[in-house]
Structure 1
Amino acid sequence: MAQLNQDFLDSIAKDMPSHLSMDDFIQYSARPLRASIRINTLKISSVHFIELMEPKGWKLTPIPWCQDGFWIDLENKVQLGNTVEHLQGLFYIQEASSMLPPTALFSQLNEIDNLTILDMASAPGSKTTQMAALMDNSGLLIANEYSSSRVKVLHANIQRMGVSNCALTHFDARVFGEYLFERFDAILLDAPCSGEGTIRKDPSALNGWNIDEITKIAETQKALLESAFLALKPGGTLVYSTCALSRLENQQVCEYLKEKYPLAVEFESLASLFEHADKACTEEGFLHVWPQIYDSEGFFIAKIKKTASIERLKLEPKKQKNFPFSKAPHKIDAELRHYFKSTFDISLPTTSLIMMRDKEFWLFPKQMEQLIGLMRFQRIGIKLADELKHGYKAQHQAIQALSKQLSHHELSQAQAIEYLMGRDIPLDGSLKPQGEVIVSIHGSPLGLAKHLGKRLKNNLPRDLVRDKIVNSDASSS
């Protein structure tokens, strides 16, 4: 049962719109959240996913504000995170309201292929991977996370979902306005907040709530929002969001920015973002989602347009030296493209850069060229392959990101479970060995194996081996 701090209730009573009631808020806060997922269109279409999973007892109800988001009901309880389909990245377990900020950011964005976009506070990666899917892995997506432990989680989710257009950074996001001034076409700032809207997921979320702490959080949010605005190109779009409910962390933070840059800040109305969006829309055009409106988590979303350039107060920092990657020579570039095409029928995108570091080869988004030396990056793009004494060895993450909708060695559900548990797969009869192959299920890759004729030798990276996999067929649970 949710623990609703009385000081919190007294504080938000003045912020709640007159057409909503505190009784409804308290009632909905005591209800468990409806489970929801987002289908990963980098690997499978929503139509195909539904065709696969509905016969297994998965009932999927569309979420109005995300074309690939669904509330999910199962005939029998299944641990979604331990299913084959989750581990291969066909879907992300994501709260419905959390899907709103990327939807708002990408509505009316043009020329997706060439955009450079920043996600300022990315972990664990739900919105980052949603944006990568909306970009169809084109352009460049910078995903920043301040917490070092959460960077690892972010990278794992990006890899699982087959994201290839992303570069990771690990900074206090207040530096972006200085280091990458007016460099981004669009920015999402899903700001660190009090988490007031998460009470249905975390009943203890408000146990330590106090107004002094919220005031401190709001000051940090203002600094982050200003940094985002400085990093945004003139004409660019910025979405500011929180899972907080008070005006202090939401409307007042946005008003601070408008007061500081009155000639460059324009609020764009989200009243028509989706059907019935007006139920949560404020007079400024923001979405202030209270739990009782859509039976969801609480959330706040503001869409901001930068209508003019602003003065750069700090000098551009000195360029960083000793970037460890260099562009692969033409001969090696051609060899790698031939290796992937002849071995896996994968055509490496011509719009990306093949870079090398020692005997490693990486695929970078082309837009990275303009940012090299301006900031330190934790990880860029995807690792393609290692150089061997004779040839190359493809990497798991490259197969996950680049082999969508190709002809693979298709496994059964039982074989896929064995593969994800790190085991070799026996084959019927004695076949001619085929060497490196991609193994898949549902036409989407699981990883690499070596076809030895009588068995598939498992090449799944050891850190991805799981002890427990559950059958996604709810009716058999």
Structure 2
Amino acid sequence: MVQLNPDFINSIQQDIPAHLSIDDFIEYCGKPLRPSIRVNTLSISSADFKALMEPRGWEFEPIPWCKDGFWLTGHNPEELGNCVEHIQGLFYIQEASSMLPPTALFDTESQYDRVLDTASAPGSKTTQIAALMENRGLLVANEYSSSRVKVLHANIARMGASNTAITHFDGRVFGEYQFETFDAVLLDAPCSGEGTVRKDPDALKYWRQEDIDDIADTQRELMLSAFQALKPGGMLVYSTCTLNTRENQQVCHFLKETYPDAVEFISLANLFADADKATTVEGFLHVWPQIFDSEGFFVAAICKTQAVDRALPRPKPQKNFPFTHASRKQTEAMKSHLNNLGLTLPETQSLMIRDAEYWLFPEGFDELIGSMRFQRIGLKLADEAKHGFKLRHEAVMALPCQQARVIELDEQQAVEYLMGRDVAFDGDKPAKGEVIVGRHGIPLGLAKSLPGKLKNSLPRDLVRDKVSTA
């Protein structure tokens, strides 16, 4: 049962718009959220995904602000995260409201070559942005929490996002280290989480005004840094999953007061049908749970109309970058190995070498070398082996793959594979050697072809104890 702190109710009554009822707000806070997903268009189109799942009884209701987002019925929500298609990266379990910020960021016809996601984990918005970028350009995904960086990378790898570079910093450093570098910035700021009570009944149990004030101080500092990291003419989207104006509108107005000639608020009233029902006078989206039967959320779109002065001196360049560009011979050898498996090496991304490791860097990353330390850049393709290369799982999940070259597993075989077991297989396959296995013509991972079976090559940390067929 939801627990709403009386102090929170007294406070939020001052912020709720006049046309909305506090009684309706309290009622909706006690309702369970509708399950929602976003189809991963890096792997499959929404139309093809629906065609796969509708025969199983899945029913899809479109989410108005995300063309690849859907509310679901007709399935077991408890099994959603364990089903083959989720593990395979065909969809992301994502609350509907959290799909708003990337949609707002990409509302214009502008093509972004370089995007910063300032607070990325667990990766729902990062992978949504990667899909909107179609794996082109460069997406820097930052996460301050050490424990959440691993989760972020796992989701990026599962969803086949290859244009990312992960950093592990306090988001307040980007204005200094990446001054006016990015075409677009998403700041989904740490917040008090007032809008998440439908998912977490205890979210507001210990609500205190003093905590709100402290969080808002941090948000203002993050906002300044994000704006400084943005190029003139670029777009900044600021979002939270909280409801009070102190963490939302007031943070945006603070930025406007700091840079009055460089900040323009962009109205989101026409972002989707009925967006005006949640639009403030400034053009921000202030989504209360009862408006769209969703989590509470806040989204503001801000254009940087002109350059600003650098607040801090340019930092010294980072030294000893451990990667070098692959030679033509090394590149051709890697292309040949990938082609033999039905995989394609993207022409716009850079093949890099570190010791005996082969990495694929995002397009345009060279310009950021030395600017700051990166936790992980792009994806690891392979290690040099005695007789060629040992391909990595994340490469199979991210690189373009010829469907005809994927050895198709049936539903039960796919379950067995994801549970780390060898798969009995007598169908058409190469006589021996490394192969790609998949489901629905989309890769699940690597295996070794042996007489009568496929020997499992799934990394041990990806082996599941439980896999369902949804």
Normalised to the residue count of structure 1, the TM-score between the two structures is 0.97
* 1:303 counterpart residue number: 301
* 2:391 counterpart residue number: 394
Residue among 156, 159, 169 paired with 1:158? 156
For the 8 Å contact 1:431–1:454, the answer to whether it is kept is no
Residue among 403, 406, 409 paired with 2:403? 406
Letter aligned with residue 391 of structure 1:
G
Give the drift of 1:345.
Answer: 2.0
* 2:56 counterpart residue number: 56
Q: Secondary structure at the match of 2:333?
A: helix
Could you say what the CA RMSD is over the residues aligned between the two structures, in angstroms? 1.2
Give the drift of 1:77.
Answer: 5.3
> Distance between the aligned counterparts of 2:401 and 2:154, measured in 1?
19
Give the drift of 1:158.
Answer: 0.4
Letter aligned with residue 464 of structure 1:
L
* Stretch moving more, 265-274 or 208-217: 208-217
> Distance between the aligned counterparts of 2:77 and 2:369, measured in 1?
48
Cα 1:308–1:422 shift into 2, 3 Å: same
* 1:468 counterpart residue number: 466
Cα deviations by residue, 1:250-274 (Å, 9 ceiling, x for unpaired): 0000000000000000000000000
What aligned pairs does 1:126-165 form with structure 2 within 5 A after superposition?
A: 126-165=124-163
Give the drift of 1:432.
Answer: 5.6
Letter aligned with residue 371 of structure 2:
L
What aligned pairs does 1:139-288 form with structure 2 within 5 A after superposition?
A: 139-288=137-286
* 2:419 counterpart residue number: 421
Residue among 347, 361, 364 paired with 1:367? 364
* 2:329 counterpart residue number: 331
* 1:291 counterpart residue number: 289
* Stretch moving more, 69-78 or 79-88: 69-78
* 2:12 counterpart residue number: 12
What aligned pairs does 1:55-74 form with structure 2 within 5 A after superposition?
A: 55-74=55-74
* 1:356 counterpart residue number: 353
> Distance between the aligned counterparts of 1:282 and 1:429, measured in 2?
60
For the 8 Å contact 1:427–1:456, the answer to whether it is kept is yes
For the 8 Å contact 2:117–2:139, the answer to whether it is kept is yes
Cα 1:86–1:281 shift into 2, 3 Å: same
> Distance between the aligned counterparts of 1:430 and 1:136, measured in 2?
33
> Distance between the aligned counterparts of 1:103 and 1:177, measured in 2?
24
Give the drift of 1:51.
Answer: 0.4
Q: Which portions of structure 1, spanning 4 or more consecutive aligned residues, are displaced by more than 4 angstroms?
A: 75-78, 429-432
Q: Secondary structure at the match of 2:389?
A: strand
Cα deviations by residue, 1:42-73 (Å, 9 ceiling, x for unpaired): 00100000000011111111000000000011
* 2:86 counterpart residue number: 86
* Stretch moving more, 152-161 or 399-408: 399-408
* 2:41 counterpart residue number: 41
* 1:475 counterpart residue number: none
> Distance between the aligned counterparts of 2:363 and 2:37, measured in 1?
31
Give the drift of 1:403.
Answer: 3.5
Give the drift of 1:436.
Answer: 1.2
Letter aligned with residue 224 of structure 2:
E
> Distance between the aligned counterparts of 1:11 and 1:269, measured in 2?
27
Give the drift of 1:412.
Answer: 0.2
Letter aligned with residue 103 of structure 2:
T
> Distance between the aligned counterparts of 1:298 and 1:430, measured in 2?
51
Question: Structure 1 residue 96 and structure 2 residue 117: aligned?
Answer: no
Normalised to the residue count of structure 2, the TM-score between the two structures is 0.98
Give the drift of 1:346.
Answer: 1.7
Q: Number of matched residues?
A: 469
Cα deviations by residue, 1:51-99 (Å, 9 ceiling, x for unpaired): 0001111111100000000001125555100000000000000000000
> Distance between the aligned counterparts of 1:396 and 1:72, measured in 2?
30
Give the drift of 1:352.
Answer: 0.7
* Stretch moving more, 293-302 or 398-407: 398-407
Q: Secondary structure at the match of 1:282?
A: coil
Cα 1:134–1:454 shift into 2, 3 Å: same
Cα deviations by residue, 1:337-360 (Å, 9 ceiling, x for unpaired): 11111x212220111100011100
For the 8 Å contact 2:359–2:380, the answer to whether it is kept is yes
Cα deviations by residue, 1:394-413 (Å, 9 ceiling, x for unpaired): 11000000144522100000
